[in-house]
Chain A
Amino acid sequence: MRLTLVGVSHHRAPIELRERVALDSDAASALAAQLGHEAVVLSTCNRTELYLARPDGGEELAVATLTDLAGDRADELGAVLYRLGDEAAALHLFRVAAGLDSLVPGEGEILGQVRSAFEAGAIGPFLDRLFRQALHAGRRVRVETAIGESPASVPAAGAALAQQVFENLDEKQVLLLGAGKMSELTARNLRSRGAHVAAVANRTLEHAQELADTLGARALGLDDLGDELAAADVVVASTSSREPIVRKSDVAAVLRARRGRPLLLVDLAVPRDLDPAINELDNCFLYDIDDLEAVVAETITGRRTEAARAEQLVAAEGDRFRRWQASLDVVPTIASLRALVEEIRDSELERAGSRLSESERRHVESITSQILAKLLHLPTIRMKEAAAAADGVVYADVVRHLFGLGEEERRA
C-alpha cells in the first residue's frame, strides 16, 4: 500500500486559486468516496489536500482531480502543487495537525478540521492508522508544548488572558464597550473559547444593535453601565471616546455586588477608555493595548522556540509511522508463515483424530497451539523490526524461501 498526498496551500497558492479548489465538508466527503480505495480530502481556508492510500499510489488521479476543481485556473496549478509520498506525506500531515504548517504556527482550529476530514473520508486500515496518529501528534504538541497557548494577535491575547483568570469561560459574561472591529474580534475569540457576550454598549445604539445581533447579545448605551459592570466577568473596550468611559470609582462602586469575583478588563482603545487606576482594585486586572502588544511580542518569540520543540515531537511520530508502514511489507510473509504452520497442525491433528478421544484431542490442540505461538513469536517480532531497516524485505524473502511460502501459488 502506498500513501500519496497532492495539494495546494497558502505557502505558494494565492487565495484566488485556493478558493477554486476549496470544498465544504459534504463535497469533500463525496469526493473522497468517489476517489475509491482509501481517500481523505482535507480542505480548509489555507489548503486543499488529497490523501490517497492505494497500491498504485494514485498520484495522477489526485492531480487530475485537483486540476478539475481548479477549472479555468488549472494552468496555474502546476507551479504551486506539491506531491509527497509515504513517509514525507505522513510527516506533512502530522505537521498540519500540529498547526506547524499553519499561517500562524500552533493555531488550534486545524486539529478539529483534520478530525472532520478524517471522519468524512473513505477510510480503510491504512488511513485510519495515519489520521489517528496525526490527531495524536496534534494533541501531543498541544499538551507537551506551549505553542497553542501563545496568541499571535492582540484580540487572541485578550482571550488567552481571560483563561489565566477564569478556569472555565463557559458561563462567563462579556461586556463590550464600543462596536468596532477590535471589540468584535476579541469578542469572537472569547466566544470561541466558550464565553457568552452578554451586552454591547455603544454611543450609537444602532451600531451596538448590529454587532449585538451577530453575537446574540443585548445592545445598550454607554450612560448607565453600573449593573452591567456588576454582572460582567470580562470587559472589552474600544470606543473612540476622548475621555475614559469607566473610572476607578465606577468599578469600586460595584465591587461589593461582585462579591470578590475577578474582573478582567481589556482596553483596546487609544485614547484609553478605562481608567488605569482600576488595576489597583482587588480582583481587577486591567490590560491596555501596550500591555497586550508586549505580551504578543513575547509569545511570538516563545512560539518560535515551542515550534522547534513541536517539530521534534512530530518527527518522532513520523518515525513511528514509518516503522509501522515498513512492517506492512513483511505482514503478508508473516501471515503466510502462520497459515502454513496452522495448515500442517490441522492436517496432523486430522490424521491422529481417530486414535484420540475427544478430551485428548482438545488437550493436544491446546498444546500444539501454544507451541506454535511461542515458536513464531520471536521470528514475527524480528521480521517486523527488520522491516523498519532497509533489509526488511530481504528477511521476508529468506523466510519465504526457507519455508517455501507461495511456491504452490507460483506453480499454479
Chain B
Amino acid sequence: MSELLVVPALLAYGEAAFAYAGELRGPGLAGRLATWGVRLGWLAQTALLVGQAASADGFPWGTWAGALNLFVWLVVGAYLIWGCRPRYRLLGLAVMPIAAVLFALAWVGGGTGLEQGDDSGIVLAIHVGLMLAGFASLTLSAGMAALYIWQERRLKRHARRVLRVTVPPLDALDRLAARGVLAGLALLALGIGVGASRFERGDLDAAMIVTFAILGVYGALLVLRHEGWRGRRAALLNLGGFALVAIVLPLTHFAQ
C-alpha cells in the first residue's frame, strides 16, 4: 500500500535531481520541471507520512530508516521555501540527489511502511522530531555553503560562463547558510533539552558526544562569523561541521 506513495515520490525526487543538472546549461524548462518534481514528490511523501502517522501504533519513525524518511521530508520541505525562486534553483542540484538517495535507503530499510512504530512515548517523538529538523536545517545550510564555494571559485578564476548560469548571489548564500546554522542549532538545543528529561546516568554514548561536538563546531562558526569570518572560511567550516553530521554521527550511532 505504501508503495503507491513511495514510488511516485521517489520518481519525482529522481526526476528533480536529473532536471536540476539541466539547469546548469541555463534557466528554462529543466529548472521548472525540477521544481515541479520537488513539489509533487514532497506532496506524495507528505501523504505517506500522514498515512504512517494515522496507521501506526506509536511513533512511526523511531527506526533509523523511519528517521531517514522523516529527515528527507524535512530537508525537501525546507528547500522548497527557497527552491521555488528561479535564482535558487541550482541549490536543488546539491540537495535533491542526496534526498533521492536517502529516501531510497529509507524505503529499502523499511522506513516507509505503514502500521509500524514503537511505543517510546511522546517525549521521544518530540526529541527525535526536533533533532531531525535541526539536522535537516544544517544539511540545507551545508548545501548553500557548497554552492557558495563553487560560485566563489568561479568568480575568483574569472570563469567565462560566470553570467550564463543562474546562481544565488554570494552574500545571499553566506547569509542564508548562517541562518540555516542558527535555526539548526536552536532546534538541536531544543531537542537535546527535551531528551535530557529522559537522560539517566550511564546513557552517555559516542553519538551524544559527537552531537555535542557538532553543536560546538557550529556554535564556533556563528561566533567567528560575528567576528568577521564570512565567505569562504565560514563555508568551509560549515562543511566541516556537516561532515560530522553526515559521516561521524551515523557511524557512531550505528556502531553501538
Residues of chain A with a CB closer than 8 A to B166's CB: 146, 149
| Cβ-neighbour of B169 out of A145, A166, A259, A294 (below 8 A) | A166
Known: A144-B28, A279-B156, A283-B232. A262 touches B163 (CB 8 A): no
Count, chain B residues at interface, CB 8 A = 32
Instruction: Report A282-316 residues with CB < 8 Å from chain B CB.
Output: 282-283, 285, 287, 291, 294-295, 297-299, 302, 305-306, 309
Question: A302 and B164: CB pair below 8 A?
Answer: yes
> How distant is the Cα of A306 from the Cα of B5 in the complex, in angstroms?
38
Stretch at the interface among A127-135, A157-165, A338-346: A157-165
| Cβ-neighbour of A260 out of B158, B164, B168, B231 (below 8 A) | B231
0 or 1 for each of A151-178: is its CB under 8 Å from B? (1 = yes): 1000001001101111100000000000
Residues of chain A with a CB closer than 8 A to B171's CB: 165-167, 261-262
Judge if B121 is at the interface, Cβ distance under 8 Å: no
Name which residue of chain A comes closest to B155, CB basis. Answer: A285
Judge if A143 is at the interface, Cβ distance under 8 Å: yes
Name which residue of chain A comes closest to B161, CB basis. Answer: A298
> How distant is the Cα of A149 from the Cα of B172 in the complex, in angstroms?
18
Judge if A150 is at the interface, Cβ distance under 8 Å: yes
> How distant is the Cα of A167 from the Cα of B232 in the complex, in angstroms?
17
Min CB gap B122→A, angstroms? 41
Judge if B162 is at the interface, Cβ distance under 8 Å: yes
> How distant is the Cα of A110 from the Cα of B121 in the complex, in angstroms?
62
> How distant is the Cα of A259 from the Cα of B169 in the complex, in angstroms?
18
Q: Count A-B contacts at CB 8 Å.
A: 92
Question: B164 and A150: CB pair below 8 A?
Answer: yes
Residues of chain A with a CB closer than 8 A to B179's CB: none
> How distant is the Cα of A187 from the Cα of B168 in the complex, in angstroms?
23
> How distant is the Cα of A279 from the Cα of B231 in the complex, in angstroms?
14
> How distant is the Cα of A166 from the Cα of B170 in the complex, in angstroms?
6
| Cβ-neighbour of B164 out of A146, A279, A282, A309 (below 8 A) | A146
Residues of chain B with a CB closer than 8 A to A256's CB: 228
Judge if B240 is at the interface, Cβ distance under 8 Å: no
Question: B151 and A164: CB pair below 8 A?
Answer: yes
Question: B230 and A260: CB pair below 8 A?
Answer: yes
Q: Which residues of B contact A (CB under 8 A)?
A: 26-29, 32, 86, 151, 155-156, 158, 160-164, 166-172, 175, 225, 227-234
> What are 19 A-to-B residue pairs whose CB atoms are below 8 Å?
A143-B86, A144-B27, A144-B28, A145-B26, A146-B163, A149-B163, A161-B162, A164-B169, A165-B170, A166-B170, A167-B168, A258-B228, A260-B230, A261-B230, A262-B170, A282-B232, A283-B230, A285-B156, A302-B161
